Chain A
Amino acid sequence: MKPETLHALIIDRELGELTPETAELLELHLARDAQAREEAERILASLELTREAVLRHPELARVPVMPAEKKIERKPRRYHFPLWLARAAAVALLAGSLGFFAGRTGSSSVAESGLVQPASTFNKESPWARYRMTFDPAGEGMQVVRVDTERLKLPSMP
């Protein structure tokens, strides 16, 4: 049990704010764990000290009067991004959009321009070398196509 949890449970039990079931479980825990019992004693001593200080010093209860107009108003929090981060995000978004539309409208021209490498030039050891992304002819999105059929033959297969 975390020390903070034990702290909360011991105080709540002492103040009669624990359900009987939880109090019983706490008792079981304390009965089994000597270290927790010692910690509980220290928590109770602090609680008793707090109680004594409050009872002996009623002036602590006199809280300053806060006029209504001075009440703290929670304003909606505004997030400020650094300018460089906003610019970088805008550039990335623009590049992504251009790339997407270039792929949709003219895949051959992109290949010709040298931006896309032919499949044979990929590292054949890569697990992704066997796959290729193609556009669905029906225009429903992209498809993953397996291109390395040789590797489909497992050693045990005839």
Chain B
Amino acid sequence: MKQIIIFLTVSAFMLGGFAPVPASAQTEVVKTNGDARLTLPSAADSIKFLAIGDTGTGGRQQKELAEVMFEYRKIFPYEFVIMVGDNMYGGEKPEDFKKKFEDVYRPLLDQGVKFYASLGNHDESTQRFYKLFNMNGNEYYRFNQGDISFYALNSNYMDKRQIKWINDEMGSDASEWKIAFLHHPPYSSGKKHGSSSGIRKVTEPLFLKYGVDVVFTGHEHFYERLKPQNDIFYFITGAGGKLRSGDVKPNSPLTAKAFDKDLSFMLLEISNDLLHFQVISRGGETVDSGNLPRREQ
């Protein structure tokens, strides 16, 4: 029986479809009416971070969201931010880096919060040299925090070299948690873009093979928590600067929870075998929260 289940699960995603598995996240929605309120445990020895995407407009809304991010750091001292791409829209002159990134996140940068970027379809490759994006000259790279490996991937150009790199890096990685972040979502309920099936075909077998637990993506300008796909948890957090209001397909079989009414970011905390998440809107409302278990290796 077990063999049949494994066969059907693997076959389903290889054929380009999906195999919904009941979500194991325990969701609770907290209406905070603008007050910073934490649903995360904020344990003393946990890894605390934030995820944002599609940020680089330099517009008023991006700044307002950054202010909420800053407010939350007072009660949840996250140390770093992962960026899922589209870090810079519409030009990359020195003044753009200032206006669309440095000015917006100045209070966080001044407090020593590190930003780790991945590249989106609006980002030039030369961002890899920009000190504040911590890419160390690489379009794809890995960094570690405690026993957690973070893989920033370049979904714009997943060529033979990058696939080999993923195999080499993940294949020799014995970390307890493996987290990938990239721009294009392998699964999405977006009306405009939808699932990036080409990326899924290549990345998902690798994620499964090497035990990736959670994947963060953007490209879609909304928040979506997907139902676990082949036991992997996928999030879309692409409303850090732009919003595509009403873009999530209603009644999508992929969606566990979605929010497309305002900009948002994700607060994240990993403590032992659980990843806790809290998603907060520009208005300070908690629109999703819960926790996920680490995949069994």
To the question of whether A and B form a pair in one complex, the answer is: no
Instruction: Give residues in B with beta carbon < 8 Å to A.
Output: none
